[in-house]
Each structure stands twice: as structure tokens, then as C-alpha cells.
Amino acid sequence: MTLDFPVYDPMHDSSGEHLRCAVGFKQLKLNLNTIQDALRENSRLYIQEYNEKVHLNRRFMQLPIRATVFLSKQELAFRGHREGESSSNRGNFKELLTDCIAVSPADIQEHYKKIAPVFSANSKTIQNELINCISDYIQSFIEKEIKDCDFISIQVDDTTDICQYRSAVYVVTGGIVKERFLGFFDVSSDRSADTLFNIVLNCLDKYDCRSKLVGQCYDGASVMAGHLNGLQAKIKEIAPQAIFVHCLAHRLNLVLQQSYNISRCRIFFANILDNILMQIITRFEDVSKIKFVGLLDTENFKHFSENFPMDKLQNLKEFYPDIFTDTKLHRLKSELQIVYASEEYNASDPQTALKLLSDSSHIFRDI
């Protein structure tokens, strides 16, 4: 098959139709590059903006996390009675978070203003989620400690307000004993030894540490300390090396309870209590009598030079009126004003200040 192409015409290159097509083709190539570059640039800017938002979100989330850790560590309540905008006290968490945001960098404050309508970070749901996240982290940390330790001992006791038992574990690593709290467990429906045993067993199996259990500590209740069907007997069936120890705090409590039935012991403890109360009263009286000692607090000399401690000076006259008359008190005030204004005394400790005053006593007498 033979194809016959037309003979090339040099005049075609200069024709208007050819020039229009050539310009259109060039423009198409330029537009194609421009679109690709624009897409790449938009994608880059979007990723950069997204990463900046993620970074700001992470920096901001440090504030509610720190507030949660602080309140939990100090065992303070999170929520208040009235948490509305008009309330003067909206609860510890909201008030603390508000203060943290107020002292945070300007970019964090601006970021919070943008996200506050969507994510305020102070709702009860967020508070509970943060508590649960921190709890999970602590549990994983305890699990690692138990895994790495040599021996463990458990302690179980009941709470006084509700029908629950609390459990703690003592981790021994390299001869160092550490106490770790495992949690509260509801036993309101059944407080038998079997129920308590299953709870302890689940904890041991959760951390895979039966072989490391060498001690157990409870109070003296039969359900806990019974040598036949008590919790300690059931634990020994799975961990014979777990020695039972009667809690020493409960022993002391039992001793005090029983001793109160003995008249001589009752009188003995009553005398101790009376002595303690008398010591407290006497010490508070003594503190009021020596209020004037603050006159020689060198750390406040600079402050005293501007605001003279007249109350402490009057304390001298109140308790020692025969020695400090109005004339002597006025003279002492003048001398102290000189001392407070002197840099030599401001830079010294109380003992040095007393020595300097003693060495300069002749100067004050000549004034």
C-alpha cells in the first residue's frame, strides 16, 4: 500500500492558519505547566497549613493535660457547683484552664479563639477522656514496672464510704520498694472471700506476676485473714510463697480500741491529749509575744525602709511596757529607720546584723 503525501509547500509556514495553530500549541504547553505548578503549590501550602494547625493543636492540648494532671495529683475536684459563664467560680478545671490560656503565648491564645466554638476543651466529656487517657498511661507504666521487677506484694483494704475494695501493689526492684495503686473494685453485691479472691487473681493474671508474689497484707477480718477460707488462704493455694502480714496500722487501731476499755490506759491517753492541746495553746501565745522579732528580718529590710513595721514595734511596748516607754520607742524607731536604709545591713543575715548593731551601738548613743 502506497501513501501519497502532498508536496511540502514553503508558503504554508508563513500562512495565517499555520501561525495561529503554532501559537495555540505553544500556549497550550505553557498553560499545562502553569496548572501543574499551581496544583503542586496549592498542595504544598495546604500541607504546610495543616502541619501548623496540628502543631498548634498539640501545643494547646498540653494546657488541659497539665490541668488534669495537676488536679489529679493534688486530689482536687474537677467540677464546680455552677459552671455557667455568669458564675464567679466555674470549678477548678475550668478556672485553671482559663488561667493557663491567659498566660500562654499569643499564638496559642489566637488559635484557641478560632477553635473555641468547636472545641472548648473544658467539657465534662473531655475531662473524663483526659482522665482515662492518663489512667491508661499510668497502668501501662505500672505494667512495665511489674514486668521488670523481682518480687511483688499486694495489699487490699475496703473503703469507708462505699462498698468497694481498693488494691495496691508493692514492687521490689533492685532492693527498692515502690507502692503502686491498682484501682477500686465494686464488691457491693458480694463481699465474700471467693469474690475478693477472683478480683485479686484477675489483677495477678492481668500482669502475669503470680510467680513473683511473695507477700500479702490485709486487715484482721475473717474474710481476709481466715487461715482456712479467708482470702490469704486462697492466695496461698496459688502462690505458697506469699506470706500473709496483718496490717500494722489496723493492729495499732485495735490496740487503741482495746486499751480504751482499761481505765489506766484511758487516763494515760487523755493526759497525752490534754498535754498536746495545752502545748498548742501555749505556743500560739508565745508566737504573739515575739512578733517583734520580725524587726530584724534582714530579708525585709528594704521593704521596711519604705513601709515601716509599726505593728511589730508596738508589740514591744505591749508586752514590755516598763522597758519600752514612748520616748525609747520613738528613739528605737529612728535607729531602725537608719538601719533599714543602710545597704550594709540589707546584705547581711540576722546574726551579722545583730553583730553590726552591737558594734555600732556607741554611734546610736551619740546621735
Give me the pLDDT at residue 80, please: 84
Q: Are residues 278 and 339 in the same domain?
A: no
State the CATH number of the domain containing residue 221: 3.30.420.40
Task: Answer whether residue 101 is part of any domain.
Answer: yes
- Which domain range does residue 159 map to? 149-246
In this structure, the answer to whether residues 154 and 219 fall within a common structural domain is yes
- Kind plus residue range of the DSSP H or E element containing 204: helix 193-207
Report residue 162's pLDDT band, with 50, 70 and 90 as the boundaries: low
| Same domain, residue pair 215 and 270 | no
pLDDT band at 363, cuts 50/70/90? very low
| Greater model confidence, 240 or 350 | 240
User: According to the model, what pLDDT value does residue 280 have?
Assistant: 62
Same domain, 262 and 297: no
Query: Is 230:223 a contact under the CB 8 Å cutoff?
Result: yes
Same domain, yes or no: 304 and 341: yes
> Can you give the pTM of this predicted structure?
0.56
Per the structure, how many domains does the chain have?
4
Angle at 311 between CA 306 and CA 315, to 5 degrees: 135
- The domain boundary residue, chosen from 131, 160, 194: 131
Instruction: Provide mean pLDDT across the span 167-175.
Output: 59
Same domain flag for 211 and 278: no
Whether 38 is in a domain gets the answer no
Q: Could you tell me the CA-to-CA distances from 122 to 34, 76, 86, 247 in Å, in that order?
A: 47, 16, 16, 41
Q: Residue 58 domain-assigned?
A: yes
Residue 202: partners with Cβ closer than 8 Å, 6 or more residues away:
none
Distance CA 169, CA 171 (A): 6
φ and ψ at 2, to 5 degrees? -115, 130
Closest of 108, 78, 111, 112 to residue 95, by C-alpha: 78
By DSSP bridging, strand 213-218 and strand 151-158 are parallel
Contact 156, 131 (CB under 8 A): no
The mean-pLDDT minimum among 12-16, 61-65, 108-112 falls in: 12-16
Tell me, yes or no, whether 76 and 60 share the same domain: yes
Q: Are residues 275 and 295 in the same domain?
A: no
- Mean pLDDT score of the chain: 79
Regarding whether 154 and 117 lie in a shared domain, the answer is no
pLDDT 10s digits, 45-81: 899 999 999 999 999 999 999 999 999 999 899 988 8
At 295-326, the pLDDT tens digits run: 767 777 778 778 888 887 787 777 777 777 88
- pLDDT single digits (tens) 199-215: 888 888 888 888 888 88
Are 355 and 272 in a shared domain?
no
Count of CB atoms within 10 A of residue 214's CB?
16
Residues 219 and 297 in one domain: no
